[in-house]
């Protein structure tokens, strides 16, 4: 059994990005960019109008009253068209290219039409309302850096480079194997005596997606060694990470590690000195990673948040340490001293700090709906008084 900090360091070491691949830009949102997006051309390529109005030559605005003959119209997506002569102007709309000879745009509110003439009654201000060529970016500029999570803003910038495909780190593929004869699909458990709803695998699946993973499959399995071993083989063929829930203690039907033994299981660690969740383990088999979580719902979710979240984030190309962003908050309430294991207390955030939940049982499920913080209490810690500062992690 190892300590929490040692286990975390091992997980961070395992959490290296999956090999990049090129995908259509439409499929890239939510992924991490593996190769910087670099502009091949200036944007805008030519000067554009920033407003609806009239393209004019500054020299024609030096004396007044000002009357300019309107020669044509130009819309976004059209070419600039021919130059106009002194004393002329052109109706222009936002995003349209300025015609040769124009160097500013008068907004339409400043212009009064008199047939084919544009009349400017008052001397316009200094605003030019022109987007100069290259004012957004120049050829060779990095528009989106490698390592960027492609959110809405980054997708706009990446698409501006006019690239059909992007190099990204793929989402790690995850298969979740829920073990236990007692498990039944939610909505079916009450129909079978002794059955309970399979809640853990759904929570783990949600966490995997939140940190950048893709659920390939989620399977409930009987406590039958032959069935479990066959399921393990199938999962290892299809996933980058296999998560197995339950069967991680010392009971007669605890087969979680054994189901991978025939596939060359090598443990990274077998237990961690934490509460809840001591039976959590991580291993490798056939080049895949395996995460074993306890069967109790709270224990499973706590250990998944502590170890699975940074692992998935790192494989997806994110910084795995971002999933371990501990910080200090004020404790609203009190906490007793701890024993010989690091303890992770479930808490709820408020305007003044974090409050420990009243139900800290490792099998609690209703309480999880209110828990949005984990409070870390080091092994051997003294009681924490009200308003003391405690380490917390978003849960």
With beta carbons less than 8 A apart as the criterion, state whether 179 and 255 touch.
Answer: yes
Whether 63 has a pLDDT exceeding 90, the answer reads no
Across the range 93-97, mean pLDDT stands at: 98
Helix or strand or coil: residue 53? strand
Across the range 377-382, mean pLDDT stands at: 97
Banded pLDDT at 248 (limits 50, 70, 90): low
pLDDT tens digits, 156-168: 999 999 999 999 9
Q: Which part of the chain has CATH 2.170.190.11?
A: 48-131
Q: Which part of the chain has CATH 2.40.340.10?
A: 327-394
Whether 234 has a pLDDT exceeding 90, the answer reads yes
Whether 112 has a pLDDT exceeding 70, the answer reads yes
Banded pLDDT at 250 (limits 50, 70, 90): low
Q: Which part of the chain has CATH 3.40.980.10?
A: 4-17+171-319
CATH superfamily label, 48-131: Molybdopterin biosynthesis moea protein, domain 3. (2.170.190.11)
Whether 251 has a pLDDT exceeding 60, the answer reads no
Q: What percent of the chain has pLDDT over 70?
A: 97
Q: What percent of the chain has pLDDT over 90?
A: 93
Residue bearing tokens 């130009």: 74
With beta carbons less than 8 A apart as the criterion, state whether 329 and 356 touch.
Answer: no
From the options 3.30.450.20, 3.40.980.10, 3.30.70.120, 3.40.50.12370, give the CATH code of 4-17+171-319.
3.40.980.10
Rg (CA), the chain: 31
pLDDT tens digits, 272-317: 999 999 999 999 999 999 999 999 999 999 999 999 999 999 999 9
Fold of 327-394: Beta-clip (2.40.340)
**Tell me, what's the pLDDT at 92?**
98
């Amino acid at each position: 059994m190892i300590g929490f900090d040692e286990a975390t360091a091992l997980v961070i070491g395992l959490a290296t990005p999956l090999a990049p691949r090129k995908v259509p830009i439409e499929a890239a949102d939510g992924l991490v960019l593996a190769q910087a997006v670099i502009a091949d051309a200036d944007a805008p390529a030519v000067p554009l109008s920033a407003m609806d109005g009239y393209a004019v030559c500054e020299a024609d605005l030096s004396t007044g009253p000002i009357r300019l003959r309107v020669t044509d119209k130009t819309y976004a997506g059209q070419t600039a068209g021919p130059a106009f002569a002194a004393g002329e102007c052109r109706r222009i709309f936002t995003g349209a290219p300025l015609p040769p000879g124009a160097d500013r745009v008068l907004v339409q509110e400043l212009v009064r039409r008199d047939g084919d003439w544009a009349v400017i009654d008052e001397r316009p201000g200094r605003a030019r309302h022109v987007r100069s060529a290259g004012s957004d970016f120049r050829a060779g500029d990095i528009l989106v850096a490698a390592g960027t999570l492609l959110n809405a803003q980054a997708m706009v910038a990446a698409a501006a480079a006019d690239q059909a495909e992007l190099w990204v780190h793929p989402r790690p593929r995850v298969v979740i194997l829920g073990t236990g004869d007692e498990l039944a699909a939610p909505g079916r458990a009450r129909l079978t005596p002794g059955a309970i709803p399979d809640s853990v695998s759904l929570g783990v699946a949600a966490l995997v997606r939140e940190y950048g993973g893709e659920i390939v499959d989620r399977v409930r399995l009987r406590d039958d060694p032959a069935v479990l071993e066959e399921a393990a083989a199938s999962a290892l063929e299809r996933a980058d990470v296999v998560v197995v829930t339950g069967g991680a203690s010392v009971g007669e039907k605890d087969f979680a590690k054994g189901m991978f033994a025939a596939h060359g299981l090598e443990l990274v660690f077998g237990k961690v000195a934490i509460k809840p969740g001591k039976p959590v383990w991580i291993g490798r088999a056939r080049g895949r990673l395996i995460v074993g979580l306890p069967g109790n719902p709270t224990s499973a979710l706590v250990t998944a948040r502590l170890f699975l979240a940074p692992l998935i984030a790192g494989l997806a190309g994110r910084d795995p340490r971002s999933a371990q962003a501990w910080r200090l908050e004020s404790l609203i309430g009190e906490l007793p001293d701890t024993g010989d294991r690091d303890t992770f207390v479930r808490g709820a955030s408020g305007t003044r700090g974090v409050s420990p939940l009243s139900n800290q049982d490792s099998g609690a499920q209703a309480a999880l709906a209110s828990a949005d913080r984990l409070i870390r209490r080091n092994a051997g810690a003294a009681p924490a008084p009200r308003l003391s500062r405690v380490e917390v992690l978003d849960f």
